[in-house]
Amino acid sequence: MSQGEDTAGDYEKWDFNEEVELEKRKRRKMPKGALSFLTSSPERAVALLYVLLAFTFLLFTILTIVNLRRVSAAWEALEQARQRSESSHTTAWHNLSDVQSALDKQLSGQLKAIRSRLQNVSQEVENVRWKVTQCNAEELSGRLRVLEQRDALEPVLRQLAEVKEEQSRASALLDAALEETRNLSEILCTRCPAGWQQFAKNCYFFSTDTKPWRAAMDSCTEFNAHLVIVDSEQENKFLANRIMENRVFWLGLSDAHKEDDWQWVDGLPLPLYFRFWNNGEPNNVGHQGEDCATILPNGRWNDATCSNTEPWICERGCCPRRASKTGLNQQKP
């Protein structure tokens, strides 16, 4: 045998061995029972396949039913949830509508109140405007009337003013003339009656007789005079200088109407700053009291009992036609 023939024989041996080896491996991989069952008969294999198919179908059906139940439960839960949500929505909507209606009511009430207030205010404004208009109209017509009257009265008023002016001028002239006449008479009146002494523009009579205060006052009146009224310190000094010896004279001063309320015979009160009382006077001593004033030689005054008899001093103006002190109001102690 040749070398080529040997090589071809080798190859054939190798293929055969390879196929055997593969067949061995397949047999090793396949389970022995099933393999034997399948390989035992094709009919059995078909039956087995049918069984498997039926089992698979059954399993599929069961799984489908289970899944359908699950789906239906989920669907129910979803439906309930939807219903719940719907009911909660409805409730919320109801609540919301309730709140809205309450708010609407409240707002409409407030609106009504505001509207009525506004109405009141506008009425007030209207009233005020009307009053203002009325006032203005009345005021204007009043002013107009006044102006008209003024216009009508203008000439009369002017004449009246002129007359008044004339009158005041005449009155001033009259006053001046009267003053001149008075001065002239005072210049002419330089002498006091016999027994009377002059000081400034007055005449004084110092009595030598003595009388109670009231009688002394009456005596002065007979001479168209009055008990002396002291108006100044100079006058008081003049009187004191004329008092000779240790005598006192009645003054025209008394508090007979009210204790310690000293008044001159003309009714004027004795000023607090113008008093020449002696030390410790007036002391109102004695059971009758002392309500009539005297002047001492030193010019100081004393209150004495009015029923005492003392000399007195009368006073009157230089001109007999004119009273020496105005407003003479003699008293009766």
Count, residues near Ca ion per rule CB under 5 A: 4
C-alpha distances in angstroms, 82 versus 77, 78, 87, 97?
Answer: 8, 6, 8, 22
3-state secondary structure of 167: helix
160's tokens: 């009246």
Tell me the sheet residues that pair with 304: 292
Q: Which of 245, 304, 256, 310 is nearest to 278 (CA)?
A: 304
Nearest distance in Å: CB 265, ligand BGC = 20
Q: Which of 17, 283, 307, 329 binds Ca ion (CB under 5 A)?
A: 283
The residue range among 67-75, 257-265, 280-288, 314-322 that interacts with Ca ion, by the rule CB under 5 A, is 280-288
Q: Does 236 bind ligand BGC (CB under 6 A)?
A: no
Angstrom distance (rounded) from CA 235 to CA 32: 181
The residue range among 45-53, 68-76, 187-195, 279-287 that interacts with ligand BGC, by the rule CB under 6 A, is 279-287
Tell me the sheet residues that pair with 206: 313
Q: Which of 255, 303, 310, 315 binds Ca ion (CB under 5 A)?
A: 303
Q: Does 315 bind Ca ion (CB under 5 A)?
A: no
Angstrom distance (rounded) from CA 316 to CA 158: 48
Looking at the Cβ atoms of 3 and 279, the one nearer to ligand BGC is: 279
Binding mask 281-310 for ligand BGC (x = CB under 6 A): x-x-x----x-----------x-x------
Q: In what order do the strands lie in the sheet with 313-317?
A: 197-199, 202-206, 313-317, 226-227
Q: Does 254 bind Ca ion (CB under 5 A)?
A: no
Q: Does 254 bind ligand BGC (CB under 6 A)?
A: no
Q: Does 253 bind ligand BGC (CB under 6 A)?
A: no
Phi, psi of 193 (to 5 degrees): -60, 165
Residues lying near ligand BGC in the complex (CB under 6 A) are found at 281, 283, 285, 290, 302, 304
Residues lying near Ca ion in the complex (CB under 5 A) are found at 283, 290, 302-303
